[in-house]
Every structure is written in structure tokens, then in C-alpha cells.
Amino acid sequence: MFIGAQLSLYPMTSDFVPVILSGLDALAPYRDRLRIETDDISTLMVGAPEPLFDAMRDFFARAAGDPAHVTLHATVSRGCPGEPDDPSCRCNVLAVAQGRPLAERQRQAQEAVRQAPVMGVGIDVQFSLYVLGQDRHMDEIYGCIDFLKASGTFLRSKNFCTRLRGDAGAVFEAVRQAFLRFGPAEGHVTLDLTASANSPSPR
Amino acid sequence: MFIGAQLSLYPMTSDFVPVILSGLDALAPYRDRLRIETDDISTLMVGAPEPLFDAMRDFFARAAGDPAHVTLHATVSRGCPGEPDDPSCRCNVLAVAQGRPLAERQRQAQEAVRQAPVMGVGIDVQFSLYVLGQDRHMDEIYGCIDFLKASGTFLRSKNFCTRLRGDAGAVFEAVRQAFLRFGPAEGHVTLDLTASANSPSPR
């Protein structure tokens, strides 16, 4: 299994470089558990979903502490057949979810969101979950949307994606649960995620 | 068939609102052929791939004419089983591609890139193509990557995505061809795309 993400942080301020660098500083506690490489478009993070989504959350929450409008985009992937197996990506939640009925996975996902830490940073997210390489991919996607609606972070459905709103702790936990508990445990699953904070647009 | 995109433009300047509004002005010529709706996170565009990718290209090229570093993110989708059929999304290229051998589709895609207009705006792109709802999805993805490598816009492969570089005309045409000629014509295919211009990072 190979799990990771390409992350880009976009601070809407002329002084955007220090905001990006401060976000990258928030990744320091994760560098022993994640492979992290930054280029001119994005930062690659490879590793297990526990540190991966915690790091994503802290990266964005740190930048959102700045008064400027800031957004994050993440392309997240697990199980891509084109990537090599990597022992650092081993994930117990995927093994536990394997073969369990949808209703049980939805219940476990909701419990995880309830236990998420409170970060004190309100954020908006919209994301799409893609389950690849199987015929009945929409069953898992609809099952995931039902979980999100009951998660306490659901805002509304949009074309091609789902809007969440809430504390960064609960919202990133809801996204992690969507990524881990839906679609086959050994399958190829991806996320296309946008997070936004401090937008001047009326909410 | 339902085809469309959620687009977000991120100008890295404190004066970001005029840059976004100027990008939206570039969509004016397309408003009779595309349904366009903007909220606080993204702009929805629904319609056939001909105006859709031209509009996306002009939206970004207009904003990239500003000296500020600017990025675009697009979530593009066709054939999602959860969306209603929409006659405005009818696409002749999809009908022609249906059932044709991979090598022929690659040749047609390359020809389309060769005929793309020159916009005079150099851009970087990285994107992922997702073919959903079928078992052998990687065959189409590898076939698409082979097309990109021969398209004149290929920069390099990255984990989870492919980097392109070149004039906005050729690069957005390469992305449109990837979206239309690979994966089944009636299938569910999506793109996760990031475009960047005027970055201060060394190239």
C-alpha cells in the first residue's frame, strides 16, 4: 500500500511566502513519520493516514491563524497500482474496515469525528471522494455522503463535491474517515480537497 | 451526460479580489453556452467540453496576465451517475472516441494539441486523471500518460499526478484531450488539476 498527498497552500496576501513557510514549520513534528518533499507547486507527504491527516490539519490550521484569506488544496491517494508498496504507509484502520458492513463503518467514522480534538480554528472544506477500479463505486460514495450528513460537519451538497464546515479538528477527521472507511481497504481511493479560511465572501 | 467543473482562482496578492473579478470577466463570451455560478469557494461551470476548457484557459490566462503569482484549481467531471443528464453537455468528441483503439485516440489527441491556439502565456500544470467504475482503469491512465509524454507539454511525472509546462493554449488542450479521449466515452471520468503562473520559486 502507498498512501500520500500533494498539498498546496495559497495565502491571498502579497506577503505569502512567510505564511507558506510558517505552515511548513507546523510539519516539523511529523517529519520522522512522513516523507515530505516540497517543489514549486506542491508538497508531497507520504505515510500512514494517522500522521498524514494530522499534519495536513496542522499545516492548514497554522496558516489560517494568520489574518489573511488562505486556502489549501490536497490531492490524496491510497492504493494506487502505479505506486510501490511502502511499509511506512501501513494502516490499521484499513485492515479493520476490510469487509465490514457499510452501516458499521459509518458508525465507526462518526465515533472518530466525535473524538476529534478541538483546534479552535473554523474552516470550510469542499471535497470529492473517488473510488477507482470497481464497478459499483457509487454505492460507497453515497454511503460516505450519508456518513458526512450525520457527522456534524456537513454544510451542503454541490455538483461534483460535498461542503463541510466546522472546527479544523472535526472537519479533517471527517475527511480522514471518508478516505479510510469507504471504498475497498485494498483498493485505489483518492480525494480532491479544498479548504478555506478567513474568506471575505459572506458566509 | 453531465459535464462540468468547480474552479477556484488564487491570486497571491493582498489585492486578490480585482484579479478574481477580472478572471470572471473573461468568462463573459461563454455565458450563453455554459451555466456559471460562483459561491465563496468556487465557480461552477456546466456544459460541453469545447466551451468548458476554452473558458477555463481564458479564465486563468487573464489572471496570469497580472504580475502576481496566481494559481487555479479545477475539479472536472463527466458522466457522474449522480448528476442529471443535460443536453447542453453533448460532446461529439466523446461519441467519436467511443470504442476506438488506444493508439488511434492518442494520435487524435496529439493532433488536437498541435492545432491549439498560442495564448502567449506560459503556465505550469499538474493534474490527475481518474477513470471510475471499471476494473482496468490503469490501462487508460497509462495510455493517457503516454499521450502526454509525446504531446510537447510534458514536464515530468510526480507521485499521484503529471506535470505539464508550456503555453496556456497547448497545455489546456492537452488536459482537455486527456479528459475526453481516455476512459470510456459513457463512463465516469474526473480530473484534479492545478495550474500555476508567475511563481517566484525557481523553475
Cβ–Cβ gap A14/B68 under 8 Å: yes
Cβ–Cβ gap A14/B14 under 8 Å: yes
Structure confidence by residue, pLDDT tens digits, B129-152? 999 877 677 888 899 999 999 999
Q: Are B77 and B31 in contact (CB under 8 A)?
A: no
* CB-defined contacts A:B, below 8 A: 146
Per-residue confidence band for A14, with pLDDT thresholds at 50, 70 and 90? very high
Structure confidence by residue, pLDDT tens digits, B90-137? 998 888 887 899 999 999 999 999 999 999 999 999 999 999 877 677
Q: Are A122 and A197 in contact (CB under 8 A)?
A: yes
| A9 contacts in chain B (CB < 8 Å) | none
What string of DSSP letters covers chain B?
--EEEEEEEEE-STTHHHHHHHHHHTTGGGTTTSEEEE-SS-EEEES-HHHHHHHHHHHHHHHHTSSS-EEEEEEEEE--TTS---GGG--HHHHHHTT--HHHHHHHHHHHHHTPPP-S-EEEEEEEEEEESSTTHHHHHHHHHHHHHTTT-EEEEETTEEEEEEEHHHHHHHHHHHHHHSS-TTSEEEEEEEEEES-SS--
Domains of chain B: 3-197 (3.30.70.930)
For the cut 80, the answer to whether the pLDDT of residue A134 exceeds it is: no
Residues 24-63 (B) with a CB less than 8 A from some CB of A: 39-42, 44, 46
- Write out the three cell numbers for B45: 461551470
Cβ–Cβ gap A13/B12 under 8 Å: yes
This model of the complex carries an ipTM of: 0.94
The chain A residue lying nearest B200, using CA atoms, is A40
Angle at the Cα of A121 (from A118 to A125), degrees rounded to 5? 100
Structure confidence by residue, pLDDT tens digits, B19-68? 999 999 999 999 999 999 999 999 999 999 999 999 999 999 999 999 99
Per-residue confidence band for B203, with pLDDT thresholds at 50, 70 and 90? low
Cβ–Cβ gap A142/B82 under 8 Å: yes
Q: Please choose, from the candidates A38, A194, A22, the residue with its C-alpha nearest in 3D space to the C-alpha of residue B9.
A: A194
